[in-house]
Amino acid sequence: MTTTTEPTTGNRKITIFDTTLRDGEQSPGASITPEQKIVLARQLAKLGVDAIEPGFPISSPGDFAAVQQISRELQGVEIVGFARALKPDIDAAIRATQDAGLRRLHLFISSSQILLEHQLRKSQDQVVRMAREMVAYAKQFVDRIEFSPMDASRTGEAFLFELVEAVIEEGATTINIPDTMGYALPDEYGRMFRRVREHVRGSDRAVYSAHCHNDLGMAVANSIAAIQAGVSQVEVTINGIGERAGNCSLEELVMAIETRQEALGVETGIVLPELYETSRLVSRMMHFPIAYNKPIVGRNAFQHESGIHQDGLLKNRNTFEIMDPEALGIPRNMIILGKHSGRHAVMHRVSEFGIELQNEQLEELFARFKTKADVQKIVTDDELLRLVGSTINRTLERFKLADVQVVTSSRKHRVASVSIVDAVAGEERTNSATAEGSVEALIRCIKASMPFELEFIDLELQSMAHGEHAQAEAAVEIAVDGRPYRGSAMDQDVVLAVARACLSACNQAARALVAAEA
């Protein structure tokens, strides 16, 4: 298991509290099984988070069991039991986390006037009394207690001071001041922490934590403002998932700290090469696609189509990138070929295939490329190789799709038949398969046609237009000998798009295997 490390640079350490499995799972449609929670918790520990909030123990038997299992297994990371300021909640959280090597109880209660009137239906005096009693009750069982006044950023200052002071007196060790509705502006949120620390008696006895939602798109900015105000813990989720517009994104916050470390004077213990895999694992398990333009982990985050950008990157990566994707576990693929790409980018990509073209051949290829790029948004590697092959009158791909047939039925298994030409073997292979779904049957046929073992890892489907003539873009990831390969293709037929994308990845694998043998 990977554990976090102490700062070695003299910078202040920021505790990363991950609530992907609790607040993140509360996203509509993001629910996962207890078994999946355990898998994700292991990856979060590998990523190096300091604390994991694995769920809401009283909410369901499955959540209780998952929190219990994670507490028993992950002894090197702090496990946080989440509970309302109610005895049954506290009892469930205490029981679920009792086997943790290091544990904390996280209590919350509503604090804004609008929530007190319309949700909790209690007076301020009643809330303070409940908070006092429940913190004191929980203190009998666990030393480390975090308290959150829910909707703190819309809570009157005087009442917020009174509530925080009361729970510190009863033994709360961490005060989390959440921007529950994503309402605060960065300067307001930072000022709130400074005001609490200045005006609450005993404030120096507590650790302060930020928990920001992203309703106005400021969760990361607000979290950084809190850090600049002296906060030492930030609560985050992978990919920024969470209720409504989500939470502060772990990868965005961590990389802001990493990239601007000199300006911020803080650091984390996150294992950067694990960021990308953790993001993809959460996306796959929760069936939440990652936006193409999502910072850090989005498909376009480190990809460039503009000719000016591509030319600069080929000369020096730092011209148009402030982070190294490979340091984050992201495969290097910075140049995307499209209608905005210039000759330098096309020539560079062709040279990576070990192909040398004469000037007139390059001009002919570039003209073909521009025609293709005007028709579709992106020209994939396999499509580029076909264009090069047409230019020099030679086949450069090992595998070519000869025919695909898929029969679907609402009552029976789907049946697929695929014919693939292997240029190296000089033969055409045809395989058939049945499966529950058309794509599954198709992939089985392609696997059977390959001269090497491949593992089908991931599939992304996207509609590239509206209406009945829309094209589907498929992105397929496979693994051969443990190494990942990703192919993409577009077609008006979804099944054909998947087939071509898969074959593109297979051709990449074949090229890599030949290069390794050489």
DSSP 374-395: HHSSB--HHHHHHHHHHHHT--
pLDDT of res. 4: 44
Which one is predicted more confidently, 86 or 363? 86
In the predicted structure, residue 516 carries a pLDDT above the cut 90 = no
pLDDT in the model for residue 2: 40
Model pLDDT, residue 5: 47
- How high is the pLDDT of residue 464? 64
Cα–Cα distance, 9 to 5 (Å, whole number): 12
| DSSP-assigned letter for residue 487 | E
The helix/strand/coil state of 330 is coil
Rounded to whole angstroms, the Cα distance separating 467 from 490 reads 16
- The answer to whether the CB of 89 falls within 8 A of the CB of 135 is no
Strand residues in 245-370 grouped as ranges (E): 266-267
CA nearest 72: which of 94, 98, 50?
98
Give me the pLDDT at residue 58, please.
Answer: 97
- What one-character DSSP code corresponds to residue 153? G
Q: Which CATH superfamily is domain 13-286 in?
A: Aldolase class I (3.20.20.70)
CA distance 126 to 72: 36
Structure confidence at residue 8 (pLDDT)? 54
Tell me what pLDDT residue 3 has.
43
Which letter does DSSP use for residue 332 in this model? P
Instruction: Indicate the CATH number of 399-517 among 1.10.10.60, 1.10.150.120, 3.30.2130.10, 3.30.160.270.
Output: 3.30.160.270
Q: pLDDT band at 258, cuts 50/70/90? A: very high
pLDDT tens figures, 148-182:
999 999 999 999 999 999 999 999 999 999 999 99
Mean pLDDT of the chain: 90
Between 508 and 226, whose confidence is greater? 226
Least confident of 99-108, 254-263, 288-297: 288-297
Give Cα separations from 438 to 263, 287, 434, 445, 485 (angstroms). 53, 19, 8, 11, 22
Q: At 132, is the pLDDT very low, low, confident or very high (cuts 50, 70, 90)?
A: very high
Dihedrals φ, ψ of 396, to 5°?
-110, -10
User: Residue 305 above 70 pLDDT?
Assistant: no
More confident residue, 340 or 159: 159
Candidates 235, 226, 240; CA nearest to 275 is 240
Q: In this structure, how many other beta carbons lie within 10 angstroms of the beta carbon of residue 60?
A: 13
- Mean pLDDT (whole number) for 330-359: 75
461 phi/psi in degrees, rounded to 5: -120, 135
Q: What is the DSSP annotation of 186-238? A: HHHHHHHHHHHHHHSTTGGGSEEEEEEB-TTS-HHHHHHHHHHTT--EEEEBG
Q: For residues 237 and 18, is the Cβ–Cβ distance under 8 A?
A: yes
* Distance from C-alpha of 192 to C-alpha of 211, rounded to nearest angstrom: 13
- Check residue 478 and give its pLDDT: 94
In the predicted structure, residue 210 carries a pLDDT above the cut 90:
yes
Mean pLDDT to the nearest integer, 95-118: 97
Taking the C-alpha atoms of residue 299 and residue 295, their distance in angstroms, rounded to an integer, is 9
Angle between helices 186-199 and 219-228 (to 10 degrees): 40
What is the C-alpha to C-alpha distance for residues 258 and 236, in angstroms, rounded to an integer? Answer: 16
Rounded to 5°, the CA angle 239-240-242 comes to 120
Provide the β-strand partners of residue 211.
178, 235
Task: Give the pLDDT of residue 39.
Answer: 96
**Cα gap 475→493, rounded to integer Å:** 14
Q: What is the predicted pLDDT for the residue at 114? A: 97
> Per-residue pLDDT tens for 369-401?
888 888 777 787 778 878 888 888 877 789 999
Looking at 181-190, 311-320, 463-472, which range is the least confident one? 311-320
Helix axes 124-138, 87-96, angle to 10 degrees: 30
What pLDDT sits at residue 307?
60
DSSP letters of 113-145?
A: HHHIIIII---HHHHHHHHHHHHHHHTTT-S-E
H or E stretch including 490? strand 483-491
pLDDT bin (cut points 50, 70, 90) of residue 289 is confident
Q: Domain map of the chain by residue range? A: 13-286, 307-392, 399-517
Question: Best-predicted range by mean pLDDT among 132-136, 287-291, 411-415?
Answer: 132-136
| Confidence band for 103, pLDDT divided at 50, 70 and 90 | very high
Q: What is the mean pLDDT of residues 17-46?
A: 95
Per-residue pLDDT band for 105 (boundaries 50, 70, 90) equals very high
The confidence score (pLDDT) of residue 107 equals 98
How does 290-308 read in b/e, with b if 16+ C-beta sit within 10 Å? Answer: beeebbbbebebbebbbbe
If we measure between CA atoms, which residue out of 481, 478, 504 comes closest to residue 491?
Answer: 504
Stated pTM of the model:
0.83
